[in-house]
Structure 1
Amino acid sequence: MGHDDHELADRFDSITTHDALIRWSRAYCSDAIETYGFDVALFPVEWEVSTRAKRRAAAVKTPQIDGASVGEPIAWETKSEPVDCVGDYPACTVSLSWRAFESFDRDEWEATLRHELVHIEQFQAYGTTDHGPAFKRRANSVDAPVRVRRFTTPKYVLLCDDCGDTVAHRYRDCKLVRNPDSYRSACCSAPLSSSKVPNEEN
């Protein structure tokens, strides 16, 4: 049974716990499967909330299936290696970032969940998932981003000394940040420079 849009909106605004975030996200995904025509079974999907993730708003954790390839359907009941299945579907876990939830509005959170549903759809069909051409086409068809935006500001930015283009971001101090001139940019083969991103949370 679907959930009234106003009900979901009210519940989203009142989420204060991890359990509530999981319940809301699962309810939205159930509605999105029907609305957007996802070929996804939610019953084998487990849910968790991460308070440590700083880069990914959400992630689908899946087992590694040897020989699996997007576009090549997999018959789970005939797999020889042990795969934890619930009925005819493999188990996987959706990990939601609490920090992302706090940073995103409802529309962006819903789009993030549709992005993850594409991953689940691919995994259940093929035994693997990626961000390749098939993912991009499917994400576009369900109005989901191919890449979910960063929700925390990186602490450091690495720039090409010749053209000034941004080469990379880093969230913590590392060799690249400390010794940028030891590396070369792909754009100009020039040394890099690093600088700290102004951010009161850094």
Structure 2
Amino acid sequence: MGQSVAYEDVTSDADVVAWSREYCRDVRREWGVDVRFDLVDWEVSTRAKRRAAAVKRPKLPDATVGDPYDWAGVDGADGRPLPCTLSLTREAFEAFDRGEWEATLRHELVHVEQYQRDGTTDHGAAFRTRAADLETDVHCPTFADPKYVLSCTDCGGLVARRYRDCKLVRERARYRSDCCGAELALD
């Protein structure tokens, strides 16, 4: 793949976008991803703390994954999908190795492909199948340390990572692990 900005030379947010955009175009060409990049805006988030990237899109209440969406009925769409934004997290780019970042981008391309076809996206069966086709995971690797880690008191297995105080953290005595049905410990 002929990148105009070498991965190891990425120093700015503009470089992150340029390298990622070019990589995604190569993926579209080489892996047959059905994405219109003229309808994708790109940004780099410095605020995101947990997600490596995200597809920001309008919520269409009648859209369902697996059912092609009728974009002709949407104001301003002119029969084509409304634009979405691929938001990349700078801290994730810096924490991941190249393979992890490429897998993250392929993951997000599945979301863009689903959104442009179906008007929505999720991590369901169709996503898992397409992610496997693109040799990526359903969940991107973590790059930030969670504030709270909940584990099973019986087997010690990881139950959840939380980055802020929430009901699960505060009321963990009310919940049980899926693995053993045991109480949750806060590590």
TM-score for the superposition, normalised by structure 2: 0.88
Name the counterpart of 2:163: 171
Question: Structure 1 residues 89, 16: CA separation in 2 closer, same or farther (over 3 Å shift)?
Answer: same
State how far apart, in whole Å, the 2-side matches of 1:73 and 1:177 are. 39
State how far apart, in whole Å, the 2-side matches of 1:143 and 1:184 are. 33
1:60 pairs, out of 40, 55, 59, with 55
How many angstroms does 1:86 deviate by? 7.5
SS in 1 for 2:6: helix
1:100-179 correspondence runs (5 A): 100-174=92-166, 176-177=168-169
Higher alpha-carbon deviation: 149-158 or 11-20: 149-158
Residue 46, structure 1, aligned to residue 44, structure 2: no
Q: State the AA in 2 paired with 1:131.
A: H
- The answer to whether the Cα contact below 8 Å between 1:12 and 1:106 also exists between their aligned partners in 2 is yes
Deviations 1:90-148 (CA, angstroms, capped at 9, x unpaired): 21010101110001111211111111111111111110111111111111111122211
Name the counterpart of 1:95: 87
| CA RMSD, Structure 1 to Structure 2 (Å) | 2.1
How many angstroms does 1:180 deviate by? 3.6
Question: Structure 1 residues 158, 72: CA separation in 2 closer, same or farther (over 3 Å shift)?
Answer: same
State how far apart, in whole Å, the 2-side matches of 1:59 and 1:117 are. 10
How many angstroms does 1:173 deviate by? 4.1
SS in 1 for 2:37: coil
Deviations 1:7-43 (CA, angstroms, capped at 9, x unpaired): 45x6211111111111111111111110111111001
State how far apart, in whole Å, the 1-side matches of 2:181 and 2:128 are. 31
Aligned-residue identity in percent: 52
Q: State the AA in 1 paired with 2:143.
A: F
| Structure 2 residues without counterparts, runs of 5 or longer | none
How many angstroms does 1:175 deviate by? 5.4
SS in 2 for 1:167: strand
2:10 pairs, out of 5, 9, 15, with 15
State how far apart, in whole Å, the 2-side matches of 1:64 and 1:178 are. 31
| Structure 1 residues without counterparts, runs of 5 or longer | 196-202
